[in-house]
């Protein structure tokens, strides 16, 4: 009884203690928890719970999945016109295949990196582009070249044809997605998603001034520091290169005028009052140079004894104010070579080079800014099917663009040898690749689905130009901004899709090609390579026959004078008949030799022209047969 009474008393005391807290509005007592787990077990459980969380959808159609070491971006792109979406190029930070699960989970729970990535840390911007854990800004500062991509808006023709916008731009993450419509062998439609990362990415709502402030404005200081700066616009015909460089009105100026405005502002400073601004403007068309400020007079680039390239005959105009500079640019652009293409009625078919030079009172070069509005890049398969003039233009343009890419890559990687002799374009820009030089590339792309292949080619060109140097402190930094090129990239295809699709050995992951398609691509590649070789031969032979023709004309004029003198002497009986006949025979022999030599060169040139024409026709027939088989 005593024990029972004592238990009742203890229970009454417990109830008495609980009553005041309940009357005061406190929360009811919590349920008892299980014994506390160890710190390692708790950490492991938290990591597992993070992995099991579903993907978080971010703005712009981006899905964030996994951890920092397996961070990827996904886009849900399911248009009605296409079938399933195959994500072949997730944006990920490379990891080793041997990384164990515990190490991965530990990196997942890193608060500093995850907060930095998600913008939770107040000391960092809300969006930071990361490449293998290295911020994009850190990599960009170490490079001599900056690459940006600009997307133009859909035009009226594309809207009338119900074209689809296949590009997604994420400026804060420096990335752009291209959703390429594809068709499998079994005629199933699907979409491949390609992602690229660059220093800057601009949507169709961006302005010329915004692009200038981010990319080109920092280069103005370079020329005042006795350096050379280069800014060039690259892209397919009709993507807005000339609009970016030239603008469309005084209220919407291009990079030419914006840079000139800041240059003249710097000239006001006392330390730069001894400098003057000189402007030259020329174009490179068909491998030849023409002065746009001097009636398209033909120019000739030569190297002096010091290896410096000098353009003989190039006219430089002194400009004391911005208005004079604007007038010269407008005058030169009006006589620039243009032509009609399938993408643009008034397409620029030449490379326009505007030079703004700073010179001292003693006419010594202080610094130079070169602006290049490149001709529209085209695929070899497209140029072959055009008329001969367009084919020759396209081949020469592509050759010069390839040489420019190699020079810029060599510049960024600090190579000792720079292949500037590859084309006239790189030859005249030699000083832009030497010494204290900085370069900005603006890649212009079209959002239309019909231009998808051109857009991908432009981005791949820009990607290869921007091949980043490895950071000694970060051995894992990748060298390529194009996501499918990443090594050790984990597979992201679903289980069902993996069953339906066999692995591919082609460069593009997951792409299925039938034996017939492989053979057709091989034949097409061989025909394009042969055509490129023929075009190079045509350009060389054209230069040779042009020089031979001029030489023949000079010789003909000289021999005509000798004919007249000989005839006068014979009429005046100042020479004998034998002397007259011998000299006349010598003149006729030299005329005949010159004609035969020129005629032989014409025959060789005609043979090359015919071979190029036949190859173009064969290629067109080959494309028709390929389309009929499909």
Co-location of 210 and 335 in the same domain: yes
Co-location of 610 and 481 in the same domain: no
pLDDT recorded at residue 83: 39
Co-location of 483 and 523 in the same domain: no
pLDDT recorded at residue 221: 92
pLDDT surpasses 70 at 88: no
Confidence of residue 532 (pLDDT cuts 50, 70, 90): confident
Instruction: Consult the annotation and say whether 25 binds a ligand.
Output: no
Co-location of 391 and 536 in the same domain: no
Domain count, the chain: 2
Those residues whose C-beta lies under 8 Å from the C-beta of residue 141, and which sit 6 or more positions away, are none
Task: Indicate the DSSP class of residue 474.
Answer: B
Co-location of 456 and 596 in the same domain: no
CA distance 127 to 73: 13
Nearest residue to 368 (alpha-carbon basis) of 443, 279, 428, 294: 279
Nearest residue to 387 (alpha-carbon basis) of 618, 625, 616: 616
Question: Among 447, 475, 491, where does a domain finish?
Answer: 491
Question: Is 107 within a domain?
Answer: no
Question: Among 491, 506, 540, where does a domain finish?
Answer: 491
Q: What is the CATH number of the domain that holds 154?
A: 3.40.850.10
Taking the CA atoms of 177, 178, 184 and 188 in sequence, report the sign of the dihedral they define.
positive
Task: Indicate the DSSP class of residue 215.
Answer: I
pLDDT recorded at residue 10: 52
More confidently predicted of 514 and 251: 251
Co-location of 449 and 577 in the same domain: no
Per-residue exposure over 576-589, b if at least 16 CB sit within 10 Å of its own CB, e if not: eeeebeebeeebee
Per-residue exposure over 459-496, b if at least 16 CB sit within 10 Å of its own CB, e if not: bebbbbbbbbeeeeeeeebbebbbbbebeebeebeeee
Instruction: Consult the annotation and say whether 241 binds a ligand.
Output: yes
CA distance 593 to 591: 6
Co-location of 247 and 382 in the same domain: yes
Question: Is 321 within a domain?
Answer: yes
pLDDT recorded at residue 190: 87
Instruction: Consult the annotation and say whether 254 binds a ligand.
Output: no
pLDDT recorded at residue 338: 62
Co-location of 465 and 526 in the same domain: no
Co-location of 298 and 331 in the same domain: yes
* 312 and 306 Cβ atoms separated by less than 8 Å: no
Question: Among 453, 476, 491, where does a domain finish?
Answer: 491
Instruction: Consult the annotation and say whether 390 binds a ligand.
Output: no
Overall pTM > 0.75? no
**For residue range 182-227, what is the model confidence (pLDDT) as tens digits?**
888 888 888 889 999 999 999 999 999 999 999 999 999 999 998 9
Q: What is the CATH number of the domain that holds 608?
A: 1.10.287
* 95 and 488 Cβ atoms separated by less than 8 Å: yes
Question: Is 254 within a domain?
Answer: yes
**For residue range 355-385, what is the model confidence (pLDDT) as tens digits?**
999 999 888 999 999 999 888 776 554 555 5
**For residue range 24-37, what is the model confidence (pLDDT) as tens digits?**
444 444 444 444 44
pLDDT surpasses 80 at 81: no
Question: Is 10 within a domain?
Answer: no
pLDDT recorded at residue 259: 94
Instruction: Consult the annotation and say whether 76 binds a ligand.
Output: no
CA distance 486 to 479: 9
CA distance 321 to 149: 31
Least confident of 67-81, 438-452, 574-588: 67-81
Co-location of 250 and 391 in the same domain: yes
Co-location of 323 and 438 in the same domain: yes
CA distance 630 to 626: 7
Question: Is 561 within a domain?
Answer: yes
Question: Is 497 within a domain?
Answer: no
Question: Is 354 within a domain?
Answer: yes
Instruction: Consult the annotation and say whether 92 binds a ligand.
Output: no
pLDDT recorded at residue 209: 92
CA distance 406 to 192: 29
Instruction: Consult the annotation and say whether 237 binds a ligand.
Output: yes
The percentage of the chain sitting over the pLDDT mark of 70, rounded to a whole number, equals 63
Confidence of residue 553 (pLDDT cuts 50, 70, 90): very high
More confidently predicted of 483 and 448: 448
Provide the mean pLDDT of the chain: 71
Residue 177 dihedral angles phi and psi, to the nearest 5°: -110, 135
CA distance 254 to 258: 6
Question: Is 51 within a domain?
Answer: no
CA distance 346 to 333: 12
Instruction: Consult the annotation and say whether 239 binds a ligand.
Output: yes
Range of the domain at 270: 133-491
pLDDT recorded at residue 535: 75
Co-location of 471 and 519 in the same domain: no
Those residues whose C-beta lies under 8 Å from the C-beta of residue 604, and which sit 6 or more positions away, are 541
């Amino acid at each position: 009884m005593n024990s029972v009474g004592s238990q009742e008393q203890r229970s009454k005391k417990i109830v008495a203690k609980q009553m005041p807290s309940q009357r005061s509005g406190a929360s009811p007592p919590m349920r008892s928890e299980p014994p506390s787990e160890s710190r390692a077990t708790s950490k492991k459980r938290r990591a597992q719970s993070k992995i099991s969380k579903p993907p978080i959808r971010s703005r712009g159609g981006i899905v964030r999945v996994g951890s920092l070491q397996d961070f990827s971006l996904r886009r849900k792109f399911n248009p009605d016109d296409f079938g399933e979406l195959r994500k072949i190029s997730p944006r990920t930070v490379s990891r080793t295949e041997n990384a164990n699960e515990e190490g991965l989970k530990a990196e997942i729970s890193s608060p500093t990196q995850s907060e930095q990535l998600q913008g939770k840390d107040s000391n960092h911007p809300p969006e930071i582009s990361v490449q293998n854990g290295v911020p994009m800004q850190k990599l960009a500062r170490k490079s001599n070249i900056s690459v940006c991509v600009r997307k133009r808006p859909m035009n009226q023709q594309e809207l009338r044809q119900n074209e689809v916008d296949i590009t997604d731009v994420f400026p804060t993450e420096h990335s752009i997605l291209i959703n390429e419509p594809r068709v499998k062998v079994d005629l199933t439609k699907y979409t491949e998603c390609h992602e690229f990362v660059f220093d800057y990415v601009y949507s169709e709502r961006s302005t010329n001034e915004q692009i200038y402030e981010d990319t080109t404005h920092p280069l103005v200081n370079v020329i005042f520091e006795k350096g050379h700066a280069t800014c060039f616009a690259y892209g397919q015909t009709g993507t807005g290169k000339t609009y970016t460089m030239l603008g469309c009105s005084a209220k919407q100026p291009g990079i030419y005028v914006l840079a000139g405005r800041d240059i003249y502002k710097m000239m006001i400073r006392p330390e730069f009052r001894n400098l003057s601004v000189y402007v030259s403007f020329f174009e490179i068309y068909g491998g030849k140079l023409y002065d746009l400020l001097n009636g398209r007079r033909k120019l000739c680039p030569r190297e002096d004894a010091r290896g410096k390239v000098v353009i003989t005959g190039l006219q430089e105009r002194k400009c004391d104010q911005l208005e004079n500079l604007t007038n010269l640019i407008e005058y030169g652009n009006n006589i620039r070579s243009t032509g009609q293409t399938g993408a643009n009625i008034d397409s620029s078919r030449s490379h326009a080079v505007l030079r703004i030079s700073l010179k001292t009172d003693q006419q010594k070069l202080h610094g130079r800014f070169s602006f290049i509005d490149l001709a529209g890049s085209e695929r070899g398969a497209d140029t072959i099917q055009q008329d001969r003039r367009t084919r020759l233009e396209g081949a020469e343009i592509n050759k010069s663009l390839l040489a420019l890419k190699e020079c810029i890559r060599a510049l960024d990687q600090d190579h000792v040898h720079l292949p500037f002799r590859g084309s006239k374009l790189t030859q005249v820009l030699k000083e832009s690749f030497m010494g204290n030089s900085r370069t900005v590339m603006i890649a212009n792309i079209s959002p239309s689905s019909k231009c998808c292949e051109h857009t991908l080619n432009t981005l791949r060109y820009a990607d290869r130009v921007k091949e980043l140097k490895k950071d000694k402190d970060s051995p894992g930094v990748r060298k390529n901004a194009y996501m499918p090129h990443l090594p050790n990239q984990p597979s992201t295809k679903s289980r069902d899709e993996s069953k339906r699709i066999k692995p591919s050995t082609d460069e593009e992951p997951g792409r299925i090609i039938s034996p017939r398609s492989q053979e057709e691509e091989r034949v097409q590649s061989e025909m394009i390579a042969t055509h490129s070789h023929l075009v190079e031969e045509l350009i060389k032979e054209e230069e040779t026959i042009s020089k031979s023709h001029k030489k023949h004309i000079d010789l003909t004029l000289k021999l005509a004078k000798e004919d007249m003198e000989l005839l006068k002497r014979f009429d005046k009986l100042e020479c004998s008949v034998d002397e007259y006949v011998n000299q006349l025979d010598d003149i006729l022999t030299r005329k005949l030799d010159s004609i035969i030599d020129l005629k032989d060169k014409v025959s060789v040139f005609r043979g090359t022209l015919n071979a190029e024409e036949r190859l173009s026709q064969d290629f067109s027939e080959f494309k028709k047969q390929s389309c009929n088989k499909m």
